[in-house]
Amino acid sequence: MTDLTPARTRVAPSPTGDPHVGTAFMALFDKAWAAKTGGSFVLRIEDTDQNRLVEGSEQQIHDTLEWLGLGPDEGPGKGGDFGPYRQSERLDAYRPFVEQLIADGHAYYCWCSSERLTALRKEQDQSKAAKTGYDRLCLGKTREERAKLPGFTDTPVVRMLVPDDAPLTFTDIIRGQVRAPFPDDQVILKADGFPTYHLAVVVDDHLMGITTVVRGEEWISSTPKHLLLYRWLGFPEPQYAHMPLLRNTDKSKISKRRNPAARLMWFREQGYLPEAVRNFLQLLGYPPADDDSEVATFAEFVEHFSWDKVNTTGPVFDVKKLDWLNGHYIRSLGAGELTERIIAFHRERGDWDESIDADVLRQAVPLVSERMTLLGDALPKLGFLFADQVEIEDAARASLPENAAEVLDAGIEVLETVPFDAGSIQAALRARLVDGLGIKPKFAFGPLRVALTGGKVSPPLFESMEILGRDATLARLRSLRETL
């Protein structure tokens, strides 16, 4: 049975580059669970690894989550009762716990130099030692005692003293009973005075009242260390939900190096709608009950949300499915909204042409939305509407039938007087060219299309003429006619 006491969930990305799609995947499940239980979803920035910080990364995390509709209830810049929400601003919070662990004999100082640790690891690798990890040279020694031995450094770290009975199994709300390997004497406080992830995550999840820890499956092997810290510090344990890693179509782990779609910004740059990306992430979480429920709002996802449905075998990142969803969401927007999104997309990409009339674009967008996959697909198909004149493509010119001049002349005559709406234009041209001159529709309208758009393929012809208007339409027909 599902426990519906209000959950506090969190996503805890490190601002080390532009955000990974996995961050949004976790955020979706965090937010859904918080919504389902009437709880809250927290964004915490895990910036304790000062060497890996990338300027602007935190802002991108914030922006992309908001863009996807997955913004947190609490977080940096958002406020909340459990701040600050950046670990670098919480350094004072960790110290007392480190001291407590040392005083209780659960943690100890280690003065081993990185050279010594590297040599130790190498030796263990070469001798294929049964027991690997730190050899506890510093355990039980004072600084003075340790300083007399080789491989000493002045600035110590603090390590956990992992006992033989460390808890290796735990319950995961997605996976059931999970077993993890025996941990090493993990460093919890670094030489620079910053906590490591392992200490900070436990202290912060506790102090922030997190009830459900949703994170990637790569953290399963760290969970025993975290459980020890919970035990030692007397904190109640949270629930764990270890999400599957997203995979490329060849089943390899999705990484920014190998797959551009691992970058969350990529979706926005490509012209995907946030609704489609969010829906896609829902589908990656678990398969829908049936094909008809593949398209689902966040509210619907929340309504049917259940941890035991989550895929544990890495869901495959199939961009074709995303393309399909994007087309669907594009078509579900009204012309006004779709036009605004198209304009915003091009502005952001830096290639919006300010001379384009947004009203004209709004009229034209319905002509191409059926054939759009991405936001950037509209303008190339509609460019002819905004050009002063069109250039006739070679292939289009070559496709003109022998009687093209006759067709154009007749077309011009009709268009000079017909009421200029698509229905009247179509009826009048058909009457004159197909019924009157006996030309097959394909040959009758082809030359008009080439004249109007410069190409052989275009959005619906008569609607395009209506949008372009009588004068511009006639000018284009005459211009091609003159060259024949």
246 binds ligand GLU (CB under 6 A): no
Residue pointed to by tokens 């969970």:
223
Any contact of residue 211 with ligand GLU (CB under 6 A)? no
Residue number of the CB closest to ligand GLU reads 215
Q: Does 254 bind ligand GLU (CB under 6 A)?
A: no
| # binding residues, ligand GLU (CB under 6 A) | 8
**Amino acid letter, 449:** R
- Least separation in angstroms between CB 216 and ligand GLU: 6
Instruction: Report the residue from 152, 194, 219, 420 that binds ligand GLU according to the rule CB under 6 A.
Output: 219
Active-site choice (78, 190, 253, 256):
256
Bridge partners, residue 482, by sequence: none
Smallest distance from the beta carbon of 305 to ligand GLU, in angstroms?
19
CB-nearer residue toward ligand GLU: 119 or 265? 265
DSSP line for 105-145: TSEEEEEE-HHHHHHHHHHHHHTT-SS-S---TTTT--HHH
Terminal-residue alpha carbon distance, the chain: 78
Sole window of 10-18, 76-84, 90-98, 147-155 interacting with ligand GLU (rule: CB under 6 A): 10-18
DSSP code of residue 316: B
201 binds ligand GLU (CB under 6 A): yes
Q: Does 42 bind ligand GLU (CB under 6 A)?
A: no
User: Does 256 participate in catalysis according to the annotation?
Assistant: yes
Q: Are 386 and 282 in contact (CB under 8 A)?
A: no
Read off φ and ψ for residue 152, nearest 5 degrees.
Answer: -100, 140
- Pick from 358, 357, 418: nearest CA to 388: 357
Q: Which of 46, 47, 74, 275 is the binder for ligand GLU (CB under 6 A)? A: 46
Q: According to CB under 6 A, which residues from 11 to 30 bind ligand GLU?
A: 12-14
Q: How far apart are CA 272 and CA 281, in angstroms?
A: 13
**Of 50 and 389, CB closest to ligand GLU:** 50
Q: Please choose, from the candidates 172, 138, 174, the residue with its C-alpha nearest in 3D space to the C-alpha of residue 158.
A: 138
- C-alpha 214: how far from its chain's center? 17
Shorter beta-carbon distance to ligand GLU: residue 90 or 146: 90
Q: Which residues pair with 74 in a beta bridge?
A: 42
Angle 89-95-96 from CA coordinates, rounded to 5°: 125
* 13 vs 454 by CB, closer to ligand GLU: 13
Q: Which of 245, 209, 213 is nearest to 226 (CA)?
A: 213
Stretch that binds ligand GLU, among 9-17, 56-64, 157-165, 458-466 (CB under 6 A): 9-17
Smallest distance, Å, CB 127 to ligand GLU?
33
* Residue number with CB closer to ligand GLU (33 or 197): 197
Stretch that binds ligand GLU, among 7-15, 160-168, 264-272, 443-451 (CB under 6 A): 7-15
Answer yes or no: is 256 a known binding residue: yes
Question: Exactly one of 215, 242, 263, 432 binds ligand GLU (CB under 6 A); which one?
Answer: 215
315 binds ligand GLU per the rule CB under 6 A: no
Cα separation values, 161 from 98, 185, 373, 422, Å: 12, 6, 56, 80
The β-bridge partners of 240 are 172, 213
CB of 14 to ligand GLU, least distance (A): 4
Nearer to ligand GLU, 237 or 466 (CB): 237
* Site for ligand GLU contains 276 (CB under 6 A): no
132/234 Cα distance (integer angstroms): 29
- Please, what is the minimum distance in Å from the beta carbon of residue 20 to ligand GLU? 8
Answer positive or negative: Cα dihedral of 60, 66, 69, 73: positive
Binding mask 356-385 for ligand GLU (x = CB under 6 A): ------------------------------
Angle of helix 335-349 relative to helix 358-368, nearest 10 degrees?
110
CA 441 to chain centre: 47
Closest CA to 210 of 426, 30, 339: 30
Please, what is the minimum distance in Å from the beta carbon of residue 300 to ligand GLU? 26
Task: Report d(CA 68, CA 43) in Å as an integer.
Answer: 14
Q: Is 455 in the site for ligand GLU (CB under 6 A)?
A: no
Q: Are the C-beta atoms of 433 and 477 separated by less than 8 Å?
A: no
Which CB sits closer to ligand GLU, 12 or 220? Answer: 12
- In the annotated binding site, the residues are 256
- In the annotated binding site for ATP, the residues are 256
Binding site for ligand GLU (CB under 6 A): 12-14, 46, 197, 201, 215, 219
Active site residues: 256
